[in-house]
Amino acid sequence: MDKRFASVHYAHYLQLDKILNAQHLRSGEVGEPAHDELLFIIVHQVYELWFKQIIHDLESIMEILRRPIVSEEALGRVVSRLRRIEVILDLMISQITLLETMTALDFLEFRNYLLPASGFQSFQFRKIEVLLGLDPSQRITYQGKDYKESFTEEQQQELRRLEQSPSLWDCVERWLERTPFLEFADFRFLQAYKEAAKRMIEEEREAILQASAIDEEQKQIRLQMLEQMEQYFSLVLSEEGHRRMVEQGRWRLSYKATLAALFIHLYRDEPMLQMPYRLLASLVEIDERLTLWRYRHAQMVRRMIGKKIGTGGSSGYDYLIQTVERHTIFLDFANLTTLMIPRSALPPLPPALKKALNYHFYAIKDGGVSA
């Protein structure tokens, strides 16, 4: 019989005997069963399953982006899988509300039986951070220990290997660096953009100077802010300024990739740039959701254990809240919006470039094919 069509039973296919028998209450083992421990275990297990799905999607996304040429179809798959990760993260955030139906007192019934277990020891969570490209120099440590020390030797090796391999962040950076169109025939994106940005700033300066509704002091404050913005533009957009920003840890994305990402953001309405734009937007969405999850988790922890130290030995809430700011990954992509200029001020693209960025339709006319 053809193996592909052998009958499958729901319970067997889903290995329910394993999954449904994998909740062992510690409180039950010590003879003091706590009602809410089942919820606590199930919520954690479900998280781990979603982590598994995220890793599965991330690995396939990275495999595609590592290819020397990323076709339009493959890019579509990358974008839809990134979108799936966004939705999983939404679920992860809302699961915190579910866990919060357990009160601090309910949690105290079994918390002491969990030592020293902690989400800090989630191997898959660390894998996601590393695969996405969390900058190791940004990691907050506690007790002066490397986060990898929580794991077995084999897992540590795997994390080290991943840390030394290109992350999603690296794959996107390299993919961006290969973006064509920044210099196309006579068109020089950087030059055209700088001139447009300069004109925009001049117009704003003029508007402030002419405004009759604001007093002299306010005008000076606004002019100073405008000057800072001008400096920021020239810093990020000159190769030398960019290099200094990178050295000071204020920017991470390479100069070439930064310009390509800016080009994609500004000309996102061009058909060929819509998918690349959605990809970049998705990275910011994922980062934002992960940050939201960290924040919600930290709030829940404060609600559950107040100022107590964590079962994993950290300062608890104080440690977690620091990770909210510091463990962001795609910050440069979010910060690109500082460099946006209104559509009306965008330098127009030359017709040949506009055509190259468009889809090409072919119509069959009188038996012949015309473009």
What's 334-351 look like in SS3? HHHHHHCCCHHHCCCCCH
Instruction: Report yes or no: 339 and 295 within 8 Å, Cβ to Cβ.
Output: no
Q: How is residue 320 written in tokens?
A: 């977690």
Question: Between 95 and 238, whose beta carbon lies closer to ligand HEM?
Answer: 95
Say whether residue 356 binds ligand HEM (CB under 6 A): no
Residue nearer to ligand HEM on the CB measure, 273 or 304: 304
28 near ligand HEM (CB under 6 A): no
Positions of E strands within the chain: 183-184, 187-188, 363-365, 368-370
Amino acid making up residue 26: R
**125 lines the binding site for ligand HEM (CB under 6 A):** yes
Q: Is 107 in the site for ligand HEM (CB under 6 A)?
A: yes
122 belongs to the binding site for ligand HEM (CB under 6 A): yes
Half-sphere exposure of 26 (CA within 13 A, CB side): 14
Q: Smallest distance from the beta carbon of 118 to ligand HEM, in angstroms? A: 3
Q: Which residues make Cβ contacts (< 8 Å) with residue 43, sequence separation at least 6?
A: 95, 98, 99
**Whole-number minimum distance, CB 158 to ligand HEM, in Å?**
17
Which run of H or of E encompasses 203? Answer: helix 189-210
Strand, coil or helix: 142: strand
From 284, 316, 330, 333, residue interacting with ligand HEM (rule: CB under 6 A): 316
Q: Are 40 and 103 in contact (CB under 8 A)?
A: no
Tokens of 127: 């894998």
As a whole number of angstroms, the longest Cα–Cα distance in the chain is 88
Based on CB atoms, which residue is closest to ligand HEM, 43 or 235? 43
Q: What mask of x and - would describe binding to ligand HEM in positions 41 to 70, judged by CB under 6 A?
A: --xx--x-----------------------
Residue 301 sits in the site that holds ligand HEM (CB under 6 A): yes
Identify residues 64-103 at the interface with ligand HEM (CB under 6 A).
99
Q: Does residue 311 belong to the site contacting ligand HEM (CB under 6 A)? A: yes
- Tell me which residues touch ligand HEM (CB under 6 A): 43-44, 47, 99, 107, 118-120, 122, 125, 297, 300-301, 304-305, 310-314, 316, 319-320, 323
